[in-house]
């Protein structure tokens, strides 16, 4: 074996993101000093990004099972039943650090990577979503980052021909030095054609397919597991470079081979590349693996074993095939213009043996690489509780009509049309609900079924009260899906936090997961996949805790679904759920009042959420409700305005709050939906709600082209739409000029 252990110094160990104690543990597992190649392998496999060493203990507490679940966390993506022998396969993942350094390629390869996670399991991707967080609009980097990330998402997704059907975008100063780019993909597969990453069969060939290996992305997983500093731009070489046209070829070639029975196991070469894919497949099968790097297709000359093993070059897969099927597979991949090479074999050693240039350059036990990474129970402290703000004690800065107009032109509430119009959201021809609504909706091709998909989280709630914020993040996607008439089935997540070595940050993580778990149990809405992204901070300043949730639901007949558009006259406008006027942590308080202390976030009553959401869906399916929209950021009046703008119809508001109207209209009380129904049907809904002990209040009727208040003040829907839609293109115009 080539011995380069003399090169390993404490400084080298630290550069690999390992502590002194972790290095000592590696020596213990090895029974000797590792060489540089082996150190590199341990470094990426024990990185936070790959090992979840700070989070594993707490992730295990999340509910992950249910009658709808085929495969929960632990595979490339989660899998759920959707009936008739079909499954939805989905996952969300982060590409935060690369996107900050190189926004176009970082975002593009994030999209490519999450799609590979899905089609690796045998699914054809049918929809992409994203959850994006940028810094303050007035930060000098923000416009550049928005432009690059949006272009990267659109460039990759549009080229590969998978629709980007929705997502969310927020701005906050906490993301100035560390943006978040979370990508989600949903695919469809037959339940009897799902592929896993568990290798089996001693002597079975290990096959490399896809693009050639280069030096891009080396130490990408390690970089994603460290906080930024002022020299972060120097990490540009660790950002991968993607090619969506090659990914399209890889997708089709993989699905063609999957139609046969030649594949034993398959794994995307994502973070940590060839290392993680080979380790994960072999360790899951509790066998060994031997690789000959001389057979790895390379696009650069004189690559070392270290570089080949740690490269994160894109559009690559590792497979284990049934012996004798190599020729069949090779013909398929060559026909699609892709590399194909048998680079190894499965063994009975439970070790990873790497050969290069005729020598063994690494020989390591697999168990410590996979499940033997240290699992930390880091110290954590809970966030102190804040006082509840009484809306009566908040002096409104202006009248309610003016407040609404101002809020609709703020960065967090402004229309995202400028963004989603850059995405092809109609390709494949199955997109039913375009971006801009509560949940995207994509038809299950050739059927009446449709998937409803939503991403959401409210970081300011999570910062103020992580438990309530964690609940709300889950519930918000559940409400978004319910508002279409679809049944929410399961979630994926992308848990973005700062440095877990700081007890207050670890406390945010632990408590957010507590809230998420409570919500998932109460709603029968399990976690089937996900990702953890820690160390999202720069020079010691962390992001707001951002546990992004991606929810997937199902509707049996998409023709029974509804949207938020209030698009006909003389609809009675009702609000389901109780309004107390909770202004704590509201956009009204932050953006209009300018309060430095935002108070406690609105509490989430999980039992009431379940009852109200079930009530809403039942009566959508019964045909009683014409349109619906959940009440979220900005409160009741913002929700009503969004429905009016979507339907290009005004509303005569008859209801007049007795006191603190700003609290009533702009408070962000949870568990509420604004619905529209004909007069006859609305009377029935009011009656049924009373029987179910669900608050139901009549606000007014759809009419005209203005939003008219009970006091006679009115706002033109046209003016409201202009304010709402102009902010983002006006903001970006200087960047694009």
Could you list the active site residues? 49, 95
What interhelical angle do 679-691 and 606-621 show, nearest 10? 140
DSSP string, 54-100: TTHHHHTTS----TTEEE-BTBSSEEEEEETTEEEEEEEEE-HHHHH
E-strand stretches of 227-315: 263-268, 288-292
Q: How far apart are CA 451 and CA 675, in angstroms?
A: 21
Contact of 87 with 70, CB cutoff 8 Å: yes
Q: Enter the tokens of residue 606.
A: 């999980």
Write out the H or E segment, with its range, that includes residue 717: helix 717-736
Between CA 113 and CA 109 the distance in angstroms is 6
- Contact in structure between 185 and 452 (CB atoms under 8 Å): no
Task: Report CA torsion sign: 609, 611, 617, 619.
Answer: negative
CA-to-CA separations, 100 to 49, 185, 632, 732, in angstroms, rounded = 17, 21, 28, 18
φ and ψ at residue 567, rounded to 5 degrees: -110, 20
Q: Taking a C-beta distance cutoff of 8 angstroms, is the pair 266, 318 a contact? A: yes
User: Could you tell me if 458 and 593 are in contact, meaning their C-beta atoms sit under 8 angstroms apart?
Assistant: no
Rounded to whole angstroms, the Cα distance separating 441 from 627 reads 15
Pairing of strands 86-94, 180-190: antiparallel
3-state secondary structure at position 323: coil
Integer Cα distance of 431 and 427 in angstroms: 8
DSSP designation for 555: E
Beta-bridge partners for 334 = none
Distance from C-alpha of 73 to C-alpha of 529, rounded to nearest angstrom: 4
What is the C-alpha separation between 450 and 394, in angstroms, rounded? Answer: 44
Cβ within 8 Å of residue 552, ≥6 positions away: 80, 88, 90, 186, 451, 452, 453, 481, 488, 489, 490, 491, 492
* Cβ proximity of 128 and 183 under 8 Å: yes
Rounded CA gap, 100 and 666, in Å? Answer: 34
């Amino acid at each position: 074996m080539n011995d380069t252990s003399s090169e390993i110094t404490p400084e080298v160990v630290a550069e690999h993101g390992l502590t002194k104690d972790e290095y000592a543990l590696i020596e213990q597992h090895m029974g000797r000093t590792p060489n540089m190649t082996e150190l590199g392998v341990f470094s990426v496999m024990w990185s936070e990004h790959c090992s979840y060493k700070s989070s594993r203990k707490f992730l295990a507490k999340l509910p992950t099972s249910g009658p709808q679940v085929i495969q929960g966390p632990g595979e490339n993506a989660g899998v759920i039943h959707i009936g008739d022998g079909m499954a939805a396969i989905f996952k969300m993942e982060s590409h935060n650090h690369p996107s900050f350094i190189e926004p176009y390629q970082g975002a593009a390869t994030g999209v490519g990577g999450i799609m590979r996670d899905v089609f690796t399991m045998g699914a054809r991707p049918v929809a992409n979503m994203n959850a994006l967080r940028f810094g303050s609009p007035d930060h000098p980097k923000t416009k550049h980052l928005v432009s690059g990330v949006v272009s990267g998402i659109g460039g990759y997704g549009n080229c590969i021909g998978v629709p980007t059907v929705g997502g969310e975008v927020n701005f906050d100063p906490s993301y100035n030095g560390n943006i978040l780019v979370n990508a989600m993909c949903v695919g469809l597969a037959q339940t009897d054609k799902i592929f896993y990453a568990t290798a089996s069969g001693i002597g079975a060939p290990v096959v490399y397919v896809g693009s050639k290996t280069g030096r891009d992305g080396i130490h990408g997983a390690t970089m994603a597991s460290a906080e930024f500093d002022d020299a972060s731009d120097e990490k540009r070489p660790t950002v991968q470079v993607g090619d969506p046209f090659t990914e399209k070829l890889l997708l089709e070639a993989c699905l063609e081979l999957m139609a046969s029975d030649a594949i034993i196991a398959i794994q995307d070469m994502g973070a940590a590349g060839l290392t993680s894919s080979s380790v994960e497949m072999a360790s899951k099968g509790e066998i060994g693996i031997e690789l000959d790097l001389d057979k790895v297709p390379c696009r650069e000359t004189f690559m070392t074993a270290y570089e080949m093993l740690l490269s994160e070059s894109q559009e690559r897969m590792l497979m284990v095939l049934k012996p004798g099927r190599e020729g069949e597979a090779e013909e398929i991949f060559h026909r699609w213009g892709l590399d194909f090479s048998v680079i190894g074999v499965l063994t009975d050693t439970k070790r990873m043996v790497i050969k290069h240039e005729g020598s063994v350059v690494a020989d390591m036990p697999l168990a410590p690489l996979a499940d033997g990474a240290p699992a930390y129970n880091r110290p954590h402290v809970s966030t102190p509780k804040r006082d509840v703000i009484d809306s009566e004690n908040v002096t409104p800065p202006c009248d309610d009509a003016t407040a609404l107009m101002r809020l609709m032109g703020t960065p967090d509430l402004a229309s995202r049309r400028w963004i989603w119009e850059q995405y092809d959201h109609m390709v494949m021809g199955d997109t039913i609900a375009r971006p801009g609504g509560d949940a995207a909706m994509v038809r299950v091709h050739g059927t009446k079924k449709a998937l409803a998909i939503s991403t959401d989280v409210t970081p300011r709630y999570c910062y103020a009260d992580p438990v309530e914020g964690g609940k709300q993040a889950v519930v918000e996607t559940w409400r978004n899906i319910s508002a279409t008439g679809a049944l929410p089935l399961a979630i994926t997540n992308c848990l973005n936090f700062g440095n877990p070595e700081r007890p207050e940050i670890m406390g945010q993580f632990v408590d957010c997961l507590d809230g998420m778990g409570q919500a998932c149990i109460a709603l029968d809405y399990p976690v089937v996949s996900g990702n953890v992204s820690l160390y999202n901070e720069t020079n010691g300043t962390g992001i707001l805790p951002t546990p992004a949730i991606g929810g997937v639901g199902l509707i049996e007949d998409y023709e029974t679904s509804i949207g938020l558009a209030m698009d006909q006259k003389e609809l009675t406008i009702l609000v389901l759920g109780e309004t107390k006027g909770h202004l704590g942590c509201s956009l009204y308080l932050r953006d209009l009042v300018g309060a430095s202390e935002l108070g406690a976030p609105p509490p989430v009553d999980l039992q009431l959420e379940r009852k109200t959401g079930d009530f809403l869906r039942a009566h959508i399916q019964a045909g009683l409700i014409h349109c619906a929209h959940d009440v979220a950021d900005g409160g009741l009046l913002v929700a009503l305005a969004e429905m009016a703008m979507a339907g290009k119809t005004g509303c005569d508001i008859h209801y007049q709050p007795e006191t603190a109207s700003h609290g009533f209209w702009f408070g962000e009380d949870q568990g509420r939906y604004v619905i529209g129904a004909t007069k006859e049907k609305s009377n029935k809904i009011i009656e049924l709600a009373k029987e179910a002990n669900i608050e139901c209040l009549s606000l007014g009727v759809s009419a005209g082209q203005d939003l008219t208040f009970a006091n006679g003040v009115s706002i033109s829907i046209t003016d409201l739409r202009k304010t709402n839609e102009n902010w983002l293109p006006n903001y970006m115009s200087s960047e694009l000029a």
